[in-house]
Amino acid sequence: MIPTHPLDAYTGPIRTRMGAAIGGERAVFRGYDLHRDLRDIHWVELLFFGVTGKRYSPSEIRICNALLTFTSYPDPRIWNNRIAALGGTSRTTGNLAVAAAQAASEAVLFGGQSFYRALDFLFRARAHCDTGGDLHGFVADDLRRHRAIAGFGRPRINEDERVAPMLALLAEEGFDDGPFLRLARRIEEILLTGRWRYRMNYAGLAAAVCGDLGLTPEQYSLVSFPAFPCGMFPCYLEAREKPAGAVMPVTCVAMKYIGASPRHWA
């Protein structure tokens, strides 16, 4: 007799709490009729609701919307945007180009992985402090082990132009004194007074805000997915307006070769 396999229980219908398209009739999204109950929902709230299953106040949605808007830079030099622009210059489709650029946004130096690590760091720091640990020692130890702290410092410049306007908006909404944001500010003080001179960057600020909104690190990295594409489409489209290959063209001699000397295959 063939023993039962754990997957046998899943060979029937897909059992889901998330939703369904009931063709010709209606659509369900996490327990709501999409066209009836969620007809007027803000798209950003739908995004956050889809990820967390929680509903948000208009004030919170204004903050969430700004979190995504403030990172929408149509600058083709930025690595993920450049992929969209290179897609344009190579005359691929806009959606393929932006899909690839979006995939590359799950990066360590910026984007998805740094988002995740930034909030994970705040979670760990909070847990450490909650058990009576010293925050300064925790920060120094984490920095020593990982050589960097996600959410603080930036790869090219230390200042982050998004932080001040976001803090101003948070103050307007009375959302600038949550426990994670207070913790992030204390960490920034430590990093500024030490020899590291790291400022809180936008990922760190957004991580603190998302922590105060009740998101986990994974949820923070997921809701941040639309943080970049609004800047990518313009990069793609402008590249399309120029001759093919005109985005950052490189001549043969502009490649700085530092490898092996010429050698024979045969």
Partner 1 sequence: MTTITTTIWQEVPEPANPYAAQVARCHGYDVYGEMLGHAGWADMVFLLLTGERPDTRQKAMLESLAVALANPGPRDPAVHAAMCGGVSGSPAAACLTAALAVGAGGAGGAREVHRAVSAWHASRGEVGALAAELARVVAEPAIETWPAAEVWPGFDAHSPVCPLPVLRTLDYLAPLSPGAALVTLQQGRQTLETGAGRGLAMTGVAAAAYVDLGMSPDQAEMLHLLLRLPGAAAHALEQAKLGFQKFPWGELELLDDPMRKSSRNDCLAEVES
Q: Point out which residues bind partner 1 (CB under 8 A).
A: 5-7, 12-20, 26, 28, 30-33, 36-37, 55, 92-93, 96, 99-100, 103, 106, 112-113, 116-117, 120, 218, 221, 245, 248-266
Q: How far is CA 206 from CA 86, 187, 233, 263, in A?
A: 29, 15, 23, 52
Contact 142, 149 (CB under 8 A): yes
Q: Minimum CB separation from partner 1 for residue 209, in Å?
A: 19
Using the minimum distance from each CB to partner 1, give the nearer residue, 167 or 216: 216
Q: CA-CA distance, 122 to 254, in Å (whole number)?
A: 43
What tokens appear for 198 in the block?
A: 């790291």
Q: CA-CA distance, 157 to 163, in Å (whole number)?
A: 13
Q: Minimum CB separation from partner 1 for residue 96, in Å?
A: 5
Using the minimum distance from each CB to partner 1, give the nearer residue, 149 or 170: 149
Using the minimum distance from each CB to partner 1, give the nearer residue, 76 or 163: 76
Q: Minimum CB separation from partner 1 for residue 57, in Å?
A: 11
Using the minimum distance from each CB to partner 1, give the nearer residue, 65 or 92: 92
Q: Minimum CB separation from partner 1 for residue 35, in Å?
A: 11
E strands along 31-117, which residues?
32-33
Helix axes of 79-89 and 94-104: crossing angle, nearest 10 degrees: 160
Residues written for the chain: 266
Q: Minimum CB separation from partner 1 for residue 33, in Å?
A: 5
Amino acid sitting at position 127: A
Using the minimum distance from each CB to partner 1, give the nearer residue, 18 or 109: 18
